[in-house]
Amino acid sequence: MILQDKVAFITGGARGMGRAIALRYADEGCNSVIVDVLDKEGEQTVGDIKAKGRDAIYLHCDVSNSAQVKETVEKAIEKFGKIDILNNCAGVGTNPTPFEATTEEEWDRVMNINCKGTFLTIFYIAPYMKKQNSGKIINIVSVAAFETGAMNVHYHASKAAQASVSRSAAADLAPYNVCVNMIHPGMVLTDMSAVFSGPGVTDVEAHQRGMAQNMVPLKRMGMPEDIAKAALFLASPESDYITGDSICVSGGSGLLMKTP
């Protein structure tokens, strides 16, 4: 087991990519702190981790709230004594929104969760990793960090900013043997898919799969488990000489122009 007795702190761990990562880590011997605002789903994920023979706790936390993040990290340290891996999976998507229809309130909400949340968790966990002279930080960003379009300026901006925070943290923490890397998912079938599809779509899965056929070279949607495989690599000793870098898990999205 390549993560035997490690401890992971996973924001957004209640469902979707965070849950898939937590379960994949458990298969490799890792204990987890599941951090989310979805209490029922978070407790279910904890139960499923324990069913695999590993330990886990669920902690309710709004990652955009500094006091809550600080308290949650302290509770995690109190429980396990260390944090070896930080996965920032918490994030919010947005309905397709034109630039001039983006409200200041929605801009702040998306930036606070997607970017500020990543900054805060690294800020409070980094001192513990520096003290132990080791750590892996994996931030779930998005291909939206380097793609642009007429829709969802706030989402794209938040992901570009999150990527910048990741690179800065990688430079700062490298002397302490802490690696900080990013995963850029493309179209992945999660609960957030409904948000990206827009309010008029009734069959989200069919809509997303149809889009994947047209836009993804590998001709399929990504699944949370695809992201978990990349996260396992970045959390493991196999990636010890990689930091400040990115893995796109997108089926080749953006690789090819669609031709007639």
In this prediction, residue 256 carries a pLDDT of: 58
Question: What letter represents residue 260's amino acid?
Answer: P
- pLDDT of 199 > 80? The answer is no
Q: How do residues 107-152 score in pLDDT, each as one tens digit?
A: 999 999 999 999 999 999 999 999 999 999 999 999 989 887 788 9
Distance CA 37, CA 42 (A): 8
Q: Is 73 helix (H, G, I), strand (E, B) or coil?
A: helix
User: Which ranges in the chain are annotated with CATH 3.40.50.720?
Assistant: 7-186+223-248
Q: How do residues 7-42 score in pLDDT, each as one tens digit?
A: 999 999 999 999 999 999 999 999 999 999 999 999
Phi, psi (5° rounding) for residue 126? -55, -40
Q: How do residues 161-198 score in pLDDT, each as one tens digit?
A: 999 999 999 999 999 999 999 999 998 988 877 777 76
Q: 58, 124, 128, 155: which is the annotated catalytic residue?
A: 155
Question: What letter represents residue 233's amino acid?
Answer: F
In this prediction, residue 151 carries a pLDDT of: 87
Confidence at 210, pLDDT banded by 50, 70, 90: confident
Asked if residue 126 lies in contact with residue 132, where contact means CB atoms within 8 angstroms, the answer is no
User: Could you confirm whether 155 is annotated as catalytic?
Assistant: yes
DSSP character string of 33-63: EEEES-HHHHHHHHHHHHHTT--EEEEE--T
In this prediction, residue 66 carries a pLDDT of: 98
- What's the predicted TM-score (pTM) here? 0.94
Fold exhibited by the domain 7-186+223-248: Rossmann fold (3.40.50)
- pLDDT of 259 > 60? The answer is no
- pLDDT of 257 > 60? The answer is no
Confidence at 240, pLDDT banded by 50, 70, 90: very high
In this prediction, residue 177 carries a pLDDT of: 98
Q: Alpha helices, DSSP H only, in 91-223?
A: 104-111, 117-132, 153-173, 193-197, 204-215
Asked if residue 35 lies in contact with residue 61, where contact means CB atoms within 8 angstroms, the answer is yes
